[in-house]
Structure 1
Amino acid sequence: MQAPNSEENLVEALGECGIRELSNFDEFLKSLFAVAVSPESDDTLREVALDGVMEFVKLGKGGKFQSMIYQRFLQAIVYSPSGIDVVVETLVSNFFNYIDVRYFTYITLEKLVRTLDSRDIKDTNNTHQDSENKSKLSNLEFAIHKIHYILSHIPPLETKEGQSDYQMWSELGLSSKETDGKQSKEGDQENRPKKSNSDIAKKMKLKFTKAWLSFLRLSLPLDVYKEVLVTLHQIVIPHLSSPIMLCDFLTRSYDVGGVTSVMALSSLYILMTQHGLEYPNFYEKLYALLEPSIFMAKHRAKFFELLDSCLKSPLLPAYLAAAFTKKLSRLSLVVPPSGALVVIAIIHNLLRRHPSINFLVQQQNDETDGDSSRRENENSESVKESDACTDISTAKPGIDMFNSEETNPAKSNAMRSSLWEIDTLRHHYCPAVSRFVASLENDLTVRAKTTEITVKDFSSASYATIFRAEIGRRIKQVPLAFYKASPASLFSESDFPGWSFKLDDSENEESGNGNNGLLTKSVEADEKSTKRQRIEC
């Protein structure tokens, strides 16, 4: 009767030993996590703790990846109060080259993102928050910064050369069950690795997509939000399973306006041109971005390149091409010389691509009343749409019909204007601008004799680059302050029509006689003073 009791006691004793060992191991892991994420620990000690944790991840469950330990470790890193430190950088540099580590990193980060209370971030500007809410909010922002840093530094499965690295950190790879099942199947052994690699690639892309979409649903801090928009078209869109799923995020960002729209334009342009996204108000939003401040923005070079690409389609309506051309020409009056060079380059390409708007170059706005009335009779339908503007133009010839304050390009009246602003750039104070504007004098409708200008060569220009280019130029004829004929006036009459800067003959004679009298008196006075000095001596 005592034997069963002894066996039961033995089982209970072994169970207690196992529980005690598990609890001790759990406490040991917590100690390693604390040492690894503590900012007070030495950097070398933190790296040793990181290596120890990753060894447990590798050797757990008989060679299978111990995902539970790894998830707890990443959670300790993300929720630690310290910033992005040596542990995160070491984890990225030493372990993210293994595909199973990347795979479970995506899974863990997706779970962590779901647990974040992102709604608290919207209250960052609330002045009535207490200290606890502010500290909680700062911890959430720290966590979002760390998640973004880890996500953006995970290398893609395929490199730029199209090669893939399927090196595993654990012995059994992503799943031991899938490996056992594949080993039991019959088939060609040479085809198994390719099939396995393709399955891994599909799984990696799926986990990558879920992790990034979950992260983008958060209310991101402003600095993280801008950084995401800048790099989204390079590190996220090419590796998503379905990039069109970003359309809501990108259209909301594009509707914000200002610099945010400029940063979202690159990714939105890729979705429109490569993935069939239809955005009806795209050109209206793009037209609204043409402000003087855009020429001083940080990402202006990429914006002007995309602007030129968006206006490249030959199916663009004439009124839309004319509106962009006229808006850019108006901005050339107030932008720096580097901005004027970009404007001339884009207008050159627009006039060459769209011959239907070349009338803007030769159209005259200073027509007489008879000409304007005759045009009214010929185009009565167009006149009825804008009676007020027509009355102004007939009453005061030379009025520019273009409305620069209008945000809708269809209502800007660009088709009834001309590029008189570009003509003023011929007398620009910067020699580079005045020389470059001469390219618009060619007949751009003959495409065989002209070529498009690469906007990229001018989009990143500045005062410094223009100055260095002017210094490096070889000047054949040095300009000097020399007049072949003595100037008769300070300004030429062509600069100010209707004004005269020459004196009358009677005024010249009076002024001349007066000057001669003064000169003779001063000479006589000088002679008398010299004679007195000689006598005294």
Structure 2
Amino acid sequence: MTSIQSSSKKRKNKGLGDNNKRKKKHQDLSDVRKLGEQLLSSRAHINNLPLLLNFLDLKSSYPREFLLESLLSLQSFFTPLLPQLPSSSAKPTEDPESIYQTWVRSKFDDFVQCLIQLALSPSLDEEALREVVMDTLMECVKVGNAGTFHSSIYHKFIHSLVYSTEEYDTLLNLLVTKYFKYIDVRYFTYISLEKITRTLDVKDCQANYSPDTDPESANTKLESPARASGQLLVCNIHHVISKIPPLEQLGENSEYEMWNGSGVFSKEGKTKSKKTKGTEEKQGEVKKSSNDVASSANISKKMKLKFSKAWMSFLRLPLPIDVYKEVLVALHQTVIPYLSNPILLCDFLTRSYDIGGVISVMALSSLFVLMTEHGLEYPNLYVKLYALLEPSIFIAKHRAKFFQLLDSCLKSPLLPAYLAASFAKKLSRLALTVPPSGGLVIIALIHNLLRRHPSINCLVHQEDDGETETVKSGIDHFNNEETDLLKTNAMRSSLWEIDTLRHHYCPPVSRFVLSLENDLTVRSKTTEVAIKDFSSGSYATIFKEEIRRRVKQVPLAFNKTTPTSLFSETDFAGWIFQSSDC
């Protein structure tokens, strides 16, 4: 009976304790609100400032309501004071006001540091609260430098973001959707990333493969935690820089939206407006509109410069394999069009193209853009391109783009006959071993080669030049292992491999090879084949195409009697089949 009474008494005490906690929580929240109200009302309560800062510590056991209430009070306190506060490096004088201002500035720096830690903290699982923290931080960036964009605070935030070892995709997505639309935010993001990459220790970031070998076959296991963190840092930099939208998406004549109206782009505009003030008054609205266009052009020029510096600094780092591939795949679309001088990528791309394998295939797109649009001369292009023609290329992930670029590179009618013949012969030799989808794209490529270069049409029907014994012996003068295009002897050979495709087991291949029987030298009666229609083919695409075809005649076999064996005796005349038991 006593134990029952004691347990009942404990439950009552526990209930009273919970009620007290709820009351205390309510009182504490009102106390936090009161601390903020006192701080905003008078300097006499300035000591409330460090008390409110303590509530921003996630390691404490305070409820989230305390953090939010303290955050709002501190933002309301600091925002009107920011233009008047001295810089963080300023030393106070003996004046009490100067000492006070310097002390408040130090507390503001603590506030900013708390905001950065809160924004990046994985413990802050409430996305709405994280957004409030991010908005507060960006407000400090907006007016923290005497009313102008505070690049120092923003650099601290980007530095902490890049060096973070936690997952930060949610925060980065918030930054992209809400703040990267402002041109000055993007501008200072490029500046911060370029500063970070310049100060990195290359040895800490270096991967365990030589740039002269194929990264696919290299050992990418890291040797030390320092190197692992360096590799993660490079990945984080790429993650951020690749998320920044390019300037041209807004349009050349658009009014660029600024996070801070009196930012870096307005200084030059103000200077110009002072010089041309009298002229503008005379010429009126027409002059004003032309001045707006000049301002847009100036913004575009500055953005391209910072964009180029950030990307070139990043590309000088030793990139991990996965980042290397992602960069090469998107470089010709997301980077080259927006660089101030795309030729700066020449060394990076030629070095990547010389590696070989899938890396060369990925680098080819950007290298081709530099050659065709920016005047880059690369004499070894066709030698390296010829070396990439291997059976593995027909099952590579990026084969579609490669075959289209290969066709474009061989399009010029000024190519020497020996070079076109070497490519045609190399492709025809590969047709013997590649899958049916590869055979289709090879026929399309050779079709275009024969049509563009009439001088190699002799390969279709090579005449006997008196070497009767050599021809009868079946010797092919083409050297498939030769890497020098001048010494392959392709012009002395023929496309006999293509002739074997007439009897290919795959009907689409045997049907398509008949297109080479036309006289391709008559350009007016023939057209080039679109390589993109065949470049991404596979067994699946061939099968889907075949089942969609309407077949008029189908070969059928009828048996008048039920067969008792797989083959009849007439199928193998003269052969005797006996079982092992006989």
Deviation at 1:358, TM superposition (A): 0.6
Residue aligning to 2:398: 299
Does residue 1:439 correspond to 2:538, yes or no? no
Residue among 547, 551, 554 paired with 1:475: 551
Equivalent of residue 101 in structure 1, options 165, 185, 198:
185
Pick 1 or 2: higher relative contact order, CA cutoff 8 A, min separation 6.
Answer: 1
Q: In structure 1, list runs of 5 or more residues that go unmatched.
A: 1-8, 374-392, 491-500, 512-537
Q: Which residue is equivalent to 2:169?
A: 85
Return 191-200 or 317-326, whichever deviates more: 191-200
| Contact 1:99-1:166 at 8 Å conserved across structures | yes
SS in 1 for 2:370: helix
Match of 2:449 among 350, 362, 374: 350
Counterpart position of 2:466: 371
Aligned alpha-carbon RMSD (Å): 2.6
Contact 2:269-2:295 at 8 Å conserved across structures: no
Whether the 8 Å contact between 2:253 and 2:296 is mirrored in structure 1 is no
SS at match of 2:377: coil
- Measure the CA separation in 1 of the matches of 2:448 and 2:238: 40
Aligned to 1:29: 112
The residue that corresponds to 1:238 in the other structure is 337
Q: Which amino acid aligns with 1:355?
A: P
Q: 1:65, 1:480 → 2: CA distance?
A: 81
Aligned to 2:249, the other structure's residue is in SS state coil
2:270 to 180, 190, 195: 180
Counterpart CA distance in 2 for 1:177 and 1:400 is 73
Q: How does 1:183-202 map to 2 (within 5 A)?
A: 183-186=273-276, 187-188=279-280, 189-202=288-301
Partner of 2:382: 283
> Would you say 1:159 and 2:249 are equivalent positions?
yes
Alpha-carbon shift at residue 12 of structure 1 (Å): 3.0
Q: Which residue of 2 aligns with 1:518?
A: none
Matched, 1:41 2:124: yes
User: Which residue in the other structure is 1:145 paired with?
Assistant: 235
| TM-score normalised by L of structure 2 | 0.75
Deviation string 1:120-154 (CA, Å, 9 cap, x unpaired) is: 2335479xxx99x7222222222212211221121
CA drift of 1:163 comes to 5.3
How far apart are residue 482 of structure 1 and its match?
6.9
Aligned position for 1:451: 527
Following superposition, the deviation at residue 47 of structure 1 comes to 2.1
Code of the aligned partner of 2:239: Y
How big is the shift at 1:488? Answer: 11
CA contact (8 A) 1:157 1:164 kept: no
1:181-231: CA deviation from partner (whole Å, max 9, x where unpaired): 233222333322122111111101111111111111111111111110000
Number of residue pairs aligned between Structure 1 and Structure 2: 458
Residue 14 of structure 1 corresponds to 97
**Alignment-mate amino acid for residue 432 of structure 1:** P
Shift of 1:461: 1.0
CA contact (8 A) 2:205 2:234 kept: no
Distance 2:443 2:132 in 1: 60
What is the one-letter code of the residue matched to 2:532? K
Residues 422-466 of structure 1 deviation map (CA, whole Å, 9 limit, x = unaligned) = 111111111100100000011111111110000000001111111
Residue 401 of structure 1 deviates from its aligned partner by 1.3
The aligned residue for residue 283 of structure 2 is none
| Pair 1:429-2:505 in alignment | yes
Distance in 2, Cα, partners of 1:84 & 1:350: 51
- TM norm structure 1: 0.81
List structure 1 segments (4+ residues) > 6 angstroms apart after TM superposition: none
Q: Residue 411 of structure 1: which of 487, 492, 497 is its match?
A: 487
Question: Hey, what's the Cα distance between the residues in 2 that align with 1:298 and 1:58?
Answer: 45
Quote how far apart the aligned CAs of 1:410 are: 1.6
C-alpha distance in 1 between matches for 2:317 and 2:240: 16
Q: Give secondary structure in 2 for the equivalent of 1:459.
A: coil
Secondary structure of the residue that 2:224 maps to in structure 1? helix
Opposite residue 371 of structure 1, the aligned amino acid is: G
Structure 2 CA distance for aligned equivalents of residues 10 and 371 of structure 1: 104
Matched residue type, 1:23 = S
Could you tell me whether the CA contact under 8 Å between 1:157 and 1:165 is conserved in 2?
no
Identify which of 455, 473, 476 aligns with 1:397: 473
Q: Which residue number in structure 1 is paired with residue 327 of structure 2?
A: 228
Alpha-carbon distance between aligned partners in 2 of 1:48 and 1:232, rounded to the nearest angstrom:
35
Provide the rounded CA distance (Å) in 1 between the counterparts of 2:433 and 2:233. 44
Instruction: Please state whether the residue corresponding to 1:448 is helix, strand or coil.
Output: helix
Is the 1:319–1:409 contact (alpha carbons within 8 Å) kept by the matching residues of 2? yes
Matched, 1:54 2:138: yes
Q: Which residue of 2 aligns with 1:521?
A: none
